[in-house]
Structure 1
Amino acid sequence: MTSTVPATIDEAHIRELVTGQEAAMRARDAEWLASRYAPEAVTFTLAPPLRNADVLDADWLRTWFSGFAGPIDFEVRDLTVTAGEDVAFCHSLNRLSATPQGSPEGFELWFRATVGLRKVDGAWRITHEHTSTPFYMDGSFASAVDLTP
């Protein structure tokens, strides 16, 4: 994880909320991960469907975690935060590595993340999250999961 010194207390809280995902993913802490989102959060994640609200559901997250054998590793890199009084956004490059249940070997995937946040009752909550991988525009339209920073 790379980061700079936070410019404000709000930026520090947002960085903690975003980078806290690293430890929570490794610990498979579904409750903490779900608690970061505002109730009206909209997410566009790597997995179908096109719009996903399941990140709010700790049971769904536990089921997702159960699809992996052994450790899960997660990294947030190059996090940039822009914070106003009650609205903020940030972006980063994230890495997920894990071994799917029943698979003889694991994978490592770098992807892009953009997060929108709003201050709710004095605490920052994620209201929008978009994760994506680029795709090759060579006619194959294959996801470019081989890219690294």
Structure 2
Amino acid sequence: MSEQQIRALLAARELAMKTRDAETLGAQYAPDVVAFTLAPPLAHRGPEVTDVAARRAWFETFEGPIDYEIRDLKVTIGGDIAYSHALNRLATTPKGAPAGFELWFRSTVCFRREDGEWRITHVHDSTPFYMDETLRAAVDLKP
């Protein structure tokens, strides 16, 4: 049952990204959440992560659809603590950009069960980088 609840929470997250549903995304987090996202700064905490207005404003920086996919999801549960890892895909077009982009990235999400409901306590998204003289992000990788 718990794994199904976590998978449902992440499926709702996937749909919320596609439909720009900032309220659903904000409600998924524990108040003390820490997120290491792709965008600066290095860490986002608590209200900064759960801020629905800020999430709406972020969605407005994109034109047209936002496509979001969670793939190869694995969930591990131990009591009231759980984590998942997956490969995620984001594809959209920034406002004013000549073209859109598609980006695959790694995502680890940690959960805590509070009052019978799973809440996200930590998110860590990352892209690998080329360890050569360029040190550029490897945003061209696909599973």
Question: For this structure pair, what is the TM-score category when the shorter chain's length is used for normalisation?
Answer: over 0.9
- Quote the Cα distance in structure 2 between the aligned partners of 1:92 and 1:19: 12
Q: Does 1:24 align with 2:16?
A: yes
**1:19 positional shift:** 2.1
Percent identical pairs in the alignment equals 57
Match of residue 106 from structure 1: 100
Aligned residues: 141
Of 79-88 and 16-25, the range deviating more from structure 2: 16-25
Q: Does 1:49 align with 2:32?
A: no
- Quote the Cα distance in structure 2 between the aligned partners of 1:97 and 1:124: 27
Counterparts of 1:33-72 in structure 2, within 5 Å, are 33-53=25-45, 54-72=48-66
**1:46 positional shift:** 0.1
- Quote the Cα distance in structure 2 between the aligned partners of 1:18 and 1:55: 16
**1:85 positional shift:** 1.7
- Quote the Cα distance in structure 2 between the aligned partners of 1:60 and 1:139: 36
Match of residue 78 from structure 1: 72
- Quote the Cα distance in structure 2 between the aligned partners of 1:81 and 1:146: 26
What CA RMSD, in Å, does the superposition of the two structures yield over aligned residues?
A: 0.7
SS in 2 for 1:23: helix
Write the letter of the residue equivalent to 1:41: V
Runs of 5+ consecutive residues of structure 2 not aligned to the other structure = none
Deviating above 2 A after TM superposition, structure 1's stretches of 4 or more consecutive aligned residues are: none
**1:73 positional shift:** 0.3
- Quote the Cα distance in structure 2 between the aligned partners of 1:15 and 1:139: 40
Report the TM-score, using the length of structure 1 for normalisation: 0.93
- Quote the Cα distance in structure 1 between the aligned partners of 2:37 and 2:134: 22
Q: Does 1:89 align with 2:83?
A: yes
109, 129, 132: which one aligns with 2:123: 129
- Quote the Cα distance in structure 2 between the aligned partners of 1:138 and 1:43: 28
SS in 1 for 2:44: coil
Match of residue 4 from structure 1: none
SS in 2 for 1:14: helix
